[in-house]
């Protein structure tokens, strides 16, 4: 599809947390960085344990955005 770009997306809700936070970026590393920052600032989990690291990484989705539409993979 013309004008459609693939992004990585993380949301607290997808990780099983009642929170409206969502981040979308082209690089998974950027999504992880913003996700960890949010988890620390808002949820008080500043030490990234193996549990949190796995939960964040497993909750990242591929999504496609463009032409005024959002498509989830």
pLDDT at residue 1 in the model: 53
The number of folded domains in the chain is 1
CA distance 62 to 68: 17
- Number of CB atoms found within 10 A of residue 33's CB: 13
pLDDT in tens, 18-57: 999 999 999 999 999 999 999 999 999 999 889 888 989 9
Mean pLDDT of 52-70: 84
pLDDT in tens, 1-16: 567 889 999 999 999 9
pTM over 0.85? The answer is: no
Q: What range does the domain containing 44 cover?
A: 5-72
- Number of CB atoms found within 10 A of residue 47's CB: 6
Whether residue 72 is predicted with pLDDT greater than 60 in this model: the reply is no
């Amino acid at each position: 599809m013309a004008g459609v770009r693939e992004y990585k997306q993380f949301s607290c809700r997808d990780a099983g947390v009642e929170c409206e936070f969502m981040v979308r970026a082209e690089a998974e590393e950027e999504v992880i960085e913003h996700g960890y920052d949010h988890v620390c600032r808002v949820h008080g989990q500043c030490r990234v344990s193996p549990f949190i690291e796995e939960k964040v990484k497993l909750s990242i989705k591929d999504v496609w955005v463009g032409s005024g539409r959002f498509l989830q993979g």
